[in-house]
Amino acid sequence: MKNLTGPFTQILPLTGLPLKGALRDEQLQVISNGWVLTNNGRVVTIGPFERLHKDHPSAQIEKIEGDYVLLPGFIDCHTHICFAGSRAKDYAMRIQGKSYLEISKAGGGIWDSVIQTRAADETLLTDLLLQRVERHLAEGVTTIEVKSGYGLSVEGELKQLRVIKAASYKTKATLIPTCLAAHLKPKDFEGTQSEYLEYILHELLPIVKKENLANRVDIFIEDGAFKADNALNYLNKAKEMGFDITVHADQFNPGGSAVAVEVGAVSADHLEASKDKDIKLLANSDTVAVALPGASLGLGMRYAPARKLLNAGACLAIASDWNPGSAPMGDLLMQAAVMGAAEKLSNAEVFAGLTFRAAQALQLTNRGTLATGTPAVVQAYPCNDYREILYHQGKLRPLINLIK
Ligand code: NIG
Ligand code: FE
């Protein structure tokens, strides 16, 4: 079934742009008063009404009233939104100046979310996840990566991954699951860090593969989480099993992004503490650098060096890191706009980071642009100039699901 939808004051198809490096707004293709022709939910072409209507007279016409700027739906390539409970106590302690260790000793930190998530049954966890997914969808985020990592046992991780799968059948958003069993060595595991990673490799990942629960594996490389050498060994083995690799890297200390590049990870995420040599490594690799401004805002810390990464030639994606601890807000557009202002990113760089460059981090070839053949997963902002979107720093909200 063919549909012809428009007119849109501007359409930004985000096609024909380089995957890596700095972008200027002048490089954006901006189609004025364009219409979108779709066939069974996929983009066929974009152009003026007269031509498309003449070439496809049987297409059903859907007229849009008012000024709208049309973009591909955003892709959030890093979230932890499958969790139960709250960590508001951590936040209150942190803004009083308490350290990570003090918060953890007072019963906060990742382990607190593990306890609260383990205690939730699958129905509750699915409901909580879907509420967050629907909020993201209403804010224009149509493809969402979701990590486990609050189970930290075979049973707990499988529960989270099964919940993510169940939720994916109940929403119009596309959910991409990632196994983050290596978030932290759980307090109830008796053994060393490398023994825990071996346990995951032998007891959990084969089931994740067999049940097709995820094809991505993540690890948190950091003082107090996992050491670089243990991580390298774990990730190489996970890769041999056929998993794509992504890494929580250089959040507080450098070291993780070098491991990510060495194993050929699809992305290295966080990077707030990356040094110039890490930036260079990332820029010379195929690993996508993912900035997580929501974590910088939640923790009151510096942003990832997004400007430097782009100038060095890296592929920069921007994701929310939405999680109960460091990034509870979860408003991706607002976060990207605010970081963009601080880091002096162009509109083109921010939109690329939220669309086709984020698709690259998830190895999705058919998302993040309005190229011919891509699913017509779009959002339209009520304005007449695409520059209004970031200018309003998240306060301009899109219409979604307007193309059949
Ligand atoms: O990406 N850095 C590690 N993990 C998360 C935080 C998760 C949590 O605090 O619950 C992050 O910021
Ligand atoms: Fe994270």
Give the ligand at the shortest distance from the Cα of 323. 1
Ligand 1 near 248 CB (within 6 A): yes
Give the ligand at the shortest distance from the Cα of 249. 1
CA gap 145, 217 in Å, rounded: 12
Same domain assignment for residues 355 and 374: no
Same domain assignment for residues 67 and 155: no
Say what the pLDDT of residue 100 is: 81
Q: Is-contact 108 403, C-beta < 8 A?
A: no
**Side-chain-facing half-sphere of 218: CA atoms under 13 Å:** 30
Among 110, 116, 292, 297, say which to mutate for ligand 1: greatest number of ligand atoms within 8 Å of CB.
Answer: 110
Give nearest CA residue, ligand 1 atom 3. Answer: 220
Same domain assignment for residues 234 and 349: yes
Residue (of 207, 210, 179, 204) closest to 189 by Cα position: 204
Say what the pLDDT of residue 379 is: 97
Ligand 1 near 113 CB (within 6 A): yes
Same domain assignment for residues 211 and 335: yes
Same domain assignment for residues 264 and 181: yes
Q: Tens place of pLDDT for every residue, the chain, 404 residues?
A: 999 999 999 999 999 999 999 999 999 999 999 999 999 999 999 999 999 999 999 999 999 999 999 999 999 999 999 999 999 999 999 999 998 889 988 999 999 999 999 999 999 999 999 999 999 999 999 999 999 999 999 999 999 999 999 999 999 999 999 999 999 999 999 999 999 999 999 999 999 999 999 999 999 999 999 999 999 999 999 999 999 999 999 999 999 999 999 999 999 999 999 999 999 999 999 999 999 999 999 999 999 999 999 999 999 999 999 999 999 999 999 999 999 999 999 999 999 999 999 999 999 999 999 999 999 999 999 999 999 999 999 999 999 877 76
Q: Is-contact 318 390, C-beta < 8 A?
A: no
DSSP state of 184: S
Same domain assignment for residues 34 and 64: yes
Give the ligand at the shortest distance from the Cα of 147. 2
Same domain assignment for residues 146 and 190: yes
Say what the pLDDT of residue 129 is: 98
Same domain assignment for residues 190 and 301: yes
The reported pTM is 0.98
Same domain assignment for residues 35 and 124: no
Same domain assignment for residues 284 and 375: no
Same domain assignment for residues 64 and 79: no
- CB atoms within 5 A of ion ligand 2 belong to 321
- Residue 31's CATH number: 2.30.40.10
- Residue 216's CATH number: 3.20.20.140
Same domain assignment for residues 60 and 93: no
Residue (of 302, 354, 330, 282) closest to 146 by Cα position: 330
Q: Which domain holds residue 140?
A: 74-361
Domain total of the chain: 2
Say what the pLDDT of residue 401 is: 76
DSSP assignment of 57-113 equals TTSEEEEPPS--EEEEPEEE--------S--HHHHHHHHTT--HHHHHHTT-SHHHH
